[in-house]
Structure 1
C-alpha cells in the first residue's frame, strides 16, 4: 500500500476524469489566466479543480452527489473547505453539458472577485 493513498487516488482521478471534467479542463481551465489544478488533495479530500491564488474550489457533481448520503457528504466536505477560507462552486454535469459558457463565466467572475477581496486584506 502506498504511503500517499490520496495522492495516488488524485492521479487516478486525473487519468479517469468524467467527460464534463475533461471538457472544462481542456476547453477552459487549462489555459485560464490564473493557475488551476485538477484533482487536488486538500486535507482529507480530493477536489475536482482548485485555484490557490483565489482560494477557490470548483466541483462538478455527478449523480452520486444527489442521494441522501451524497448530499450529507458534500455538506461536510463543503463546511470543512469553507472553514479553511475557501469558496466552493458546485456545478452539475448537466450544467456543464448544457450551459458550458455560463459555467465558465461564473468561474471567471468568482475568481476575479476573490482576487480583489484577497488583495484588499
Structure 2
C-alpha cells in the first residue's frame, strides 16, 4: 500500500472527499480481496482507479482487466481515469463519477468490509 499519492491521485482524492456532503464516502488505498483499490465507495460498490502511463502497456492492461472482472463478481463497478483526464478535465470526471454513484444501488452496512487502512 502506497502512502504517497501522485498529483492526479491527490487531486482526485480532494474532489472525492467533497462528495461526502452529498452522502458518498470514499476510502483510499483500501484493501479488498488481495488488491488495493485506489478509491472505493463500498456503499455503492464503486471503485475509482487513477491510471498512469504504464496502464497502457499490454501486460498491465491484462492485469487490470482481470482485476476489474474479479471485482465485478463482487458487485463492483470500476471507473478508470487516466492522469491527463484528471489534470485537464476534473469537472467532467467528477460529473461522470457523481452520475454513476447516483445510478448505483445502495448496499447495507453489513455488506461493507471492516475499515482498514486509509479512510479519512
Q: TM-score when scaled to structure 1?
A: 0.82
Partner of 2:16: 29
Shift of 1:115: 3.5
Output one character per residue of 1:11-64: Cα deviation in whole Å (capped at 9) or x when no partner.
xx2x310100101112x1112131110111110111110001111000010011
- Which of structures 1 and 2 has the bigger CA Rg? 1
Structure 1: how far apart are the matches of 2:105 and 2:69? 21
Partner of 2:77: 87
Structure with the bigger RCO (C-alpha within 8 Å, sep 6+) is 2
Aligned partner of 1:100 among 90, 107, 111:
90
Equivalent residue pairs, number: 105
SS at match of 1:115: coil
Alpha carbon RMSD of aligned pairs, Å? 1.5
Moved over 3 A (4+): none
Structure 1: how far apart are the matches of 2:72 and 2:81? 17
Structure 2: how far apart are the matches of 1:65 and 1:75? 10
Is 1:17 paired with 2:5?
A: yes
- Structure 1, unpaired ranges of 5+: 1-8
Q: From the two aligned structures, give the one with the greater helix fraction.
A: 1
Structure 2: how far apart are the matches of 1:57 and 1:20? 16
Partner of 1:72: 62
